[in-house]
Chains A and B, each alone.
Chain A
Amino acid sequence: MEIYRSHVLCCGGTGCTSSGSAQLIERFEQKIAEAGLEKEVKVIRTGCFGLCEAGPVVIVYPEGTFYSRVRVEDVDEIVSEHLLKGRKVQHLVYTDHASHEQNANKSLNDINFYKHQKRVALRNCGVIDPENIDEYIAFDGYMALEKALTRMTREEVIDEILKSGLRGRGGGGFPTGLKWKFTYNSQADQKYVACNADEGDPGAFMDRSILEGDPHAVIEAMAIAGYAIGASEGYVYVRAEYPIAVKRLEIAIGQAHEYGLLGKNIFGTDFSFDLKIRLGAGAFVCGEETALMRSIEGKRGEPTPRPPFPAVKGLFAKPTMLNNVETYANVPQIILKGADWFCEMGTEKSKGTKVFALGGKINNTGLVEVPMGTPLRTIIYDIGGGIPNGKAFKAVQTGGPSGGCLPAELLDTPVDYDNLIAAGSMMGSGGMIVMDEDNCMVDIARFFLDFTVDESCGKCAPCRIGTRRMLEILERIVEGKGEEGDIEKLENLANTIKATALCGLGQTAPNPVLSTLKFFRHEYEAHIKEKKCPAHHCQKLLQYVITDKCRGCTLCSKICPAGAITGSVKEMHHIDTAKCLKCGACIEKCRFGAIVKI
């Protein structure tokens, strides 16, 4: 193995790839070769670093210098200055949002964004080359599988997972060890292990990042699960929208085969295990476990009633154990370091860490992993760097279309499964979208219902028809046609759907409405009674008025398509709100900032 004096780590996650990290890597390789450094410096494409906001991100080791928003033009300077002469390129070094501090000597872990994090599921993301199995092995990879197969009985493996208190990271939070035990207890000639990588919650991308950054961790965990429950075959169901993840998973499965870590008689034992990839085709409902299995069978992805549970009758009518990507990513560490180590992190009923995808109106968008029980405030302000442009925080949305919006009063809630449910939202897969004063909460509820209506599989009436009726009411409200009694109708429908829908998706579909009604009822009332949108977001409820900044230039009255603006030259103009179409053309044209929306 060659030894290099420096390593240039370039983020190859989806965010950074979208902003051009592939071209960066090419340029680095070219420039390093031109400088004659190819035997001294190695360029590695890693998985996601997490701080997507600063992408494309480059880290130079051994110094650990953190360069952010690197452009192709910057590469020449990094090579000629840093790599050739050993002088860090100060002006490209990452600047901390909160402290405005730019310190080339600061290590990654001292940066605010990383300081509060604890990386278990993401431990290899942004550290190793995901397309090189040797790098995974160098970081204790496949040691857990070796330990399980050669030094633990199947029962001991299941006990360790049970003891760890690990709960499903896909949203439900069901104890993982119990799932393993139920499937272990089922008798059958064939059992299956399956991985849910159909990450459908809008705004969540941790599963994608784990598959892109550390695919072997998932493969290793699935093999351990296969051994524990007695399955020789596994399926990974991945969204087709994740091409990089699929490619890296394919490469990783191929390498694991080559090394004898998948296939027949793994580690010389009589345990054999193989993995297949199945692609989704764009149906949110396939994230639900029974629907996912129907989809792998090549059918319409419609949920089926439980019982029978998948542990008894799942894929191809055989006992099947389905876990989510992030859940699996925790497993090798638990087996290797023990349940006690895992239990030290987290709260009483939620052990370990959780990965969140921070997005929306927040300075540091990206992926963060924190111990369970970390307060929302720490995640949003200390790690996330707060709200941009001096705006006020309004709500944080967790749990995707099944979750809810929490207001500022609840920012000190320690985040775990039970606290979020008690607060009126849920963990979900870990999307965390921050909203500021400009976001209308009624419109956000409408947005999620629109999503649900579109994605409802149509099998059961409460979800198919009920969510549509809710959406119609919400659409009326944001258009200023809300009526007295609409809120009660929404609540009535929501409670009926919750009680009667067939699957988890239908049962949780009303949550975005219920939580916004609970915490932002006044916004609904303002829309319905006063025909006003407090956030000035809903176009149809806005009024355009001309203020005394008007100089009477007549530009607006000429551009107005409705002829709603009147006034003489050099005199203040006036908008007839009855005629106004609220198209915004006048605001764009006004050179004096005299027209405002109220």
Chain B
Amino acid sequence: MPDMKEKYDQLQQVIEELKDQPGALMPVLQKAQGIFGCVPMDVQKIIAEGLGVTLSEVYGVATFYAQFTLEPAGKYIISVCMGTACYVKGSQKVLDKLSEELNVPVGKTSADGLFTLNATRCLGACGLAPVMTVNEEVYGRLTPDDIPGIIAKYRELG
């Protein structure tokens, strides 16, 4: 894992690379989100200075889009699809079960920093409804009963 200085250097490099293209703010924020896992205020300040825009503009964009987060997320990001196809097949119950099992409200991170629970927009895997992802791993045709086993697996991994 690169240390913080390395991350800031990476960010500067991204800014240098992209700053001359039109509409650079979005791609820069996307890269920053990838590097830091979130875009906290100090990162936004660096971006604002680097691109020559106001901090308020950066903040405005960063808070508009769901993909950007201001706080770091857990090690495992659980996203339960709340698209229509998944919803009519019971994804709400899957989400409720996760919230209960992890003891976190939707959109928050568990106290141990292990899990972030999100309700997400349609993942486009409607054939597998209801669907959730844990980081890159996809779980389909879920029932609430599947949840404890899946969570236990990740808890074991730590």
Contacts and interface: CB of A to CB of B under 8 A. Distances in A.
A194 to B, nearest CB: 12
A205 interface: yes
B25 A203 contact: no
Nearest to A242: B124
A431 interface: yes
Contacts of B68: 281
A282 interface: yes
A205 B129 CA distance: 13
Nearest to B120: A241
Interface residues of B, number: 36
Contacts of A284: 121
Interface string B14-25: 000000001111
Contact of B85 (A202, A278, A283, A295): A202
A205 B128 contact: no
A240 interface: yes
A150 B144 CA distance: 59
A350 interface: no
Contacts of A418: none
B153 to A, nearest CB: 17
B128 A360 contact: no
A203 B83 contact: yes
Contact of B84 (A203, A208, A241): A203
B41 interface: no
A359 B126 contact: yes
A281 B125 contact: no
A444 B88 contact: yes
How many interface residues does chain A have, given as a range?
35 or more
Contact of A240 (B30, B64, B87): B30
Contact of B26 (A15, A203, A278, A366): A278
B85 A359 contact: yes
Given A203-B122, A208-B124, A298 B25 contact: yes
B89 interface: yes
A519 interface: no
B149 interface: no
Given A53-B127, A360-B85, A431-B84, A282 B22 contact: no
Interface string A448-492: 100100000100000000000000000000000000000000000
A508 interface: no
B84 A359 contact: yes
Given A203-B84, A298-B23, A15 B125 contact: yes
A131 to B, nearest CB: 19
Contacts of B85: 202-203, 357, 359-360, 365, 431, 433
B66 interface: yes
Contact of B64 (A203, A283, A297): A283
Contacts of B27: 278-279, 298
Contact of B128 (A19, A242, A433): A19
Interface in B85-131: 85, 87-89, 120-129, 131
B61 A298 contact: yes
A201 B122 contact: yes
A361 B23 contact: no
A279 B30 CA distance: 9
A592 interface: no
Query: Of B22, B23, B88, which is in contact with the most chain A CB atoms at under 10 Å from its CB?
Result: B88
A19 B125 CA distance: 10
Contacts of B80: none
Contacts of A107: none
A300 B127 CA distance: 33
Interface in A415-467: 431, 433-435, 439, 444, 447-448, 451, 457
A506 interface: no
B26 A298 contact: yes
B140 interface: yes
Contacts of B64: 283, 300-302, 457
A189 to B, nearest CB: 15
Contacts of A199: 124
A447 B85 CA distance: 12
Contacts of B121: 200, 202, 241, 282, 284
Nearest to B26: A298
B52 interface: no
The listed residue with most B CB atoms (<10 A of its CB), out of A241, A361, A444, is A241
B84 A202 contact: yes
Contact of B66 (A283, A433, A435): A283
A242 to B, nearest CB: 7
10 contacts: A19-B128, A200-B122, A205-B124, A241-B124, A281-B65, A297-B22, A298-B61, A302-B64, A316-B22, A366-B127
Interface of A: 14-15, 18-19, 52-53, 55, 199-205, 208, 240-242, 278-284, 295-302, 316, 357, 359-361, 365-366, 397, 400, 431, 433-435, 439, 444, 447-448, 451, 457
Given A202-B122, A205-B125, 15 more contacts: A15-B126, A15-B127, A52-B125, A203-B83, A203-B122, A241-B121, A295-B26, A296-B26, A297-B23, A300-B61, A300-B64, A301-B65, A359-B84, A435-B88, A444-B88
